Structure 1
Amino acid sequence: MSGRFAVVAITKHGVEIARRLGDQLPGTDVYYMEKFARGDEQNRRITLFTGSVRLILPDLFARYSGIILIISLGAVVRMIAPLLKDKKTDPAVTVIDDWAEHVISVLSGHLGGANELTRQVARLLGARPVITTASDVQQTIPVDLFGHAFGWEIESFEKATPVSAAVVNEEKILIIQESGETNWWTYDKPIPDHIRVVRSMEEAWKHDFDAALVVTHRILTPEEEKHFLGNGVLYRPKVLVLGLGCNRGTPMKEIEQVVKDTLDELKLSIKSVRNVATIDLKKDEAGLIDLCQKYGWRLDVFTPAELNTVPLSNPSETVYKYTGAYGVSEPAALLSAGARDWLLTKKKSGNVTISIAMVPHGEEKR
């Protein structure tokens, strides 16, 4: 089986529910006991098993991102307890009662996606979703999922639990957002008064708080880290675009070193890099391709005509002679980011030229 979800049944009624979900929920593999076989399981790619479901759970935990069990909640808790490792890696676990009246989120509600899976399954079955995560019930910020839909990466997870407690207990929360998508509040109500949002560290220093959510592409200073992350969580939005040019055959290691050194010099986090941009002549450049594959960055390429639409203060006749563009890294970064200006106009190091632009959010684009 190769689906994303596994649904498991051990009763006659449960088999009906499992087969139904196998048809209606994309990416779902169905498992049930052999004694309920109907003869069409092979054609429907349904897996039959004998003995206790406890025997197949370790394999399901390792292979699926979500497990739907049509088994009593108490039995499920006892069976999965020895398999639990970490909330960041455990799969989502959802339980359905034998009459499909309730769908219960049991494990990995946020990071694992069990809460969303619970809602999705409940909609398909016409059942009632049961979700007990406080931030979901209160319709407030889920600290461990903040910015997840935008691809933000949590850099400091250590304080996630106390910060989450502060949010749901309506303590003073300070959100410091220097970059990234600003439309993260999706509830049909105003942001509550105990949550304050500021757009700069300069403003943040003026406010008292019990817990902080820091969203930035910058490397924090030691003072900022001590003050705001003492009870805070740091998020890295994907907002940096690296415009790169290089001589043909430049090895990935050299390009990577220039990128790392440049980001360090500018106090920028490599975790906030969204993508690389260059001229279409370099779309098959092995060093660039390998770099993007290593870090999971996409590679945007532009034609010389597109690059030449960006005004440059120092257009290069030499670059134009060989590429048909008056610049590569500078215009590529700006076009890909949709920005008005650069964080770094251009820097040449060895065989590599780099420019950096930031994707604008909450402001007029270029």
Structure 2
Amino acid sequence: MRLHIISFTQAGFSLSERIRDSLSHGDSDEISLAFGGKIADRDLASFAVTLSEWVQSGFHSGNALVFVGAAGIAVRSIAPFVNDKKTDPAVLVIDEKGGFVIPILSGHIGGANELARKIADAIGALPVITTASDVNNLPAIDVFAAKNNLSINDMKLAKDFAAKMLAYKDKNENDRPQFTLSVYIKNDILSLIPKCVILGIGCKKGKSAKELENFVKENLELYKIDYRSLESVNSVDQKKDENALISLANSLKLPFVTFSAEELNKITQKVSHSDFVEKTLGTDNVCERSVFAAGADELVLPKISRDGMTLAVGIRKADLKIPEDLKNFLI
């Protein structure tokens, strides 16, 4: 993520430059500086911004915002934009003398706590971390999820898990919080969802986007596959301009990837065979072969057909290393 830093005094701007020089590692594009105070030095004129516009622009960029100045300025400025801890960016405050670095928003999922430690280490400041799991030296499930690109099925369950972690006593199993890793819909337990489910799709030319979308979504829901686990939509090269497939990928916000018949024919896993498809496209199977071509290790849903549409669903083994302090809670 990029870092946007705003300051309001000459001393604050000098600290901003120090932070940039300490963290950018020669890439000045990683960190942008802005000045929201009264311009008394012509050298600062090119950095001048309107605070409200700077916050509005930066808040929705997905990058971290750092205020070098009073915490009250930061709180009042970001208040209209704070929405959801899953999407709000990291926001930090640093006093202009560089004594304290304080994350005030999105400490875990947005990475503000980790960034605070990094900045503090770079400038010799004290990171002021206030989240309960951190001050009690407990693992934070949302930090683990964020670092590994895992979705959280229910933020209330995540909050309950964190509360149980604080109250947990090793010898009382009834109090032990639990979570699972799954690509399937779970409603009764905290579930971390890896993005590793691969869709392979074939469809007759001219199929409507709505018909294909309904077909795919009905089957995903029937087999309780969580949409947040989806990684890509895949097919054969001859379908790369098929409007229904492009529309489906856009609807699911997934990349659409196609493979040549030659690439699909190199797949060695057992798949179903169609003489008609082989004669038409040069490969005997589109949906299952494209799933494996995209990196799936196994099929969780073999070929399903309906009205000139085919669907196969595969899963790629997620390469996850569970921290030792969380393993005891994984089921």
Pair 319,135 (structure 1): closer, same or farther in 2 beyond 3 Å: same
Matches within 5 A, 1:274-313: 274-311=231-268, 312=270
For structure 2, list consecutive stretches of 5 or more residues without a partner in the other structure: 25-29, 321-331
Pair 251,57 (structure 1): closer, same or farther in 2 beyond 3 Å: same
2:197–2:229 contact (8 Å) kept in structure 1: yes
1:15–1:36 contact (8 Å) kept in structure 2: no
Pair 302,113 (structure 1): closer, same or farther in 2 beyond 3 Å: same
Q: What does residue 66 of structure 1 align with?
A: 64
> Counterpart amino acid of 2:181?
V
Q: What does residue 10 of structure 1 align with?
A: 8
Q: What does residue 128 of structure 1 align with?
A: 126
State the shift of 1:167 in Å: 1.9
Given the alignment, which residue of 31, 37, 40 partners 1:36?
A: 40
For structure 1, list consecutive stretches of 5 or more residues without a partner in the other structure: 173-192, 195-206
**Aligned positions, number:** 311
Secondary structure of 1:276 counterpart = strand
Structure number with higher helix proportion: 2
For residues 153-175 of structure 1, the C-alpha deviation after alignment (integer angstroms, 9 at most, x for no partner) is 22211233232122244446xxx
* Distance in 2 (alpha carbons) for counterparts of 1:269 and 1:163: 21
State the shift of 1:338 in Å: 3.3
Pair 266,127 (structure 1): closer, same or farther in 2 beyond 3 Å: same
1:156–1:235 contact (8 Å) kept in structure 2: no
State the shift of 1:110 in Å: 1.4
Among all aligned residue pairs of Structure 1 and Structure 2, give the percentage whose two residues are the same amino acid: 27
Pair 106,99 (structure 1): closer, same or farther in 2 beyond 3 Å: same
> Counterpart amino acid of 2:76?
M
Q: What does residue 291 of structure 2 align with?
A: 333
Given the alignment, which residue of 262, 266, 286 partners 2:223?
A: 266
Secondary structure of 1:158 counterpart = helix
State the shift of 1:329 in Å: 0.6
Matches within 5 A, 1:148-163: 148-163=146-161
> Counterpart amino acid of 1:79?
R
* Distance in 1 (alpha carbons) for counterparts of 2:317 and 2:43: 58
* Distance in 2 (alpha carbons) for counterparts of 1:211 and 1:92: 27
State the shift of 1:306 in Å: 1.9
State the shift of 1:297 in Å: 1.2
Pair 163,130 (structure 1): closer, same or farther in 2 beyond 3 Å: same
1:7–1:18 contact (8 Å) kept in structure 2: yes
> Counterpart amino acid of 2:48?
T
* Distance in 1 (alpha carbons) for counterparts of 2:221 and 2:99: 55
State whether structure 2 residue 181 is matched by structure 1 residue 215: yes
* Distance in 1 (alpha carbons) for counterparts of 2:110 and 2:199: 31
> Counterpart amino acid of 1:317?
D
Matches within 5 A, 1:109-258: 109-171=107-169, 208-220=174-186, 225=187, 229=188, 232-258=189-215
Secondary structure of 2:241 counterpart = coil
* Distance in 1 (alpha carbons) for counterparts of 2:198 and 2:150: 15
Secondary structure of 1:109 counterpart = coil
Pair 136,347 (structure 1): closer, same or farther in 2 beyond 3 Å: same
Pair 37,90 (structure 1): closer, same or farther in 2 beyond 3 Å: farther
For residues 173-216 of structure 1, the C-alpha deviation after alignment (integer angstroms, 9 at most, x for no partner) is xxxxxxxxxxxxxxxxxxxx99xxxxxxxxxxxx7554322321
For residues 278-337 of structure 1, the C-alpha deviation after alignment (integer angstroms, 9 at most, x for no partner) is 112222222212211222212232221221123445422221211111211111112323
> Counterpart amino acid of 2:267?
V
* Distance in 1 (alpha carbons) for counterparts of 2:222 and 2:134: 41
Pair 305,114 (structure 1): closer, same or farther in 2 beyond 3 Å: same
* Distance in 2 (alpha carbons) for counterparts of 1:63 and 1:361: 29
Secondary structure of 2:178 counterpart = strand
State the shift of 1:244 in Å: 0.5
State the shift of 1:91 in Å: 3.6
Higher alpha-carbon deviation: 97-106 or 15-24: 15-24
> Counterpart amino acid of 2:161?
V
State the shift of 1:78 in Å: 6.1
> Counterpart amino acid of 1:41?
A
> Counterpart amino acid of 1:295?
L
* Distance in 2 (alpha carbons) for counterparts of 1:126 and 1:280: 55
State whether structure 2 residue 76 is matched by structure 1 residue 79: yes
2:3–2:65 contact (8 Å) kept in structure 1: yes
* Distance in 2 (alpha carbons) for counterparts of 1:264 and 1:63: 31
Q: Over aligned residue pairs, what C-alpha RMSD do you find?
A: 3.1
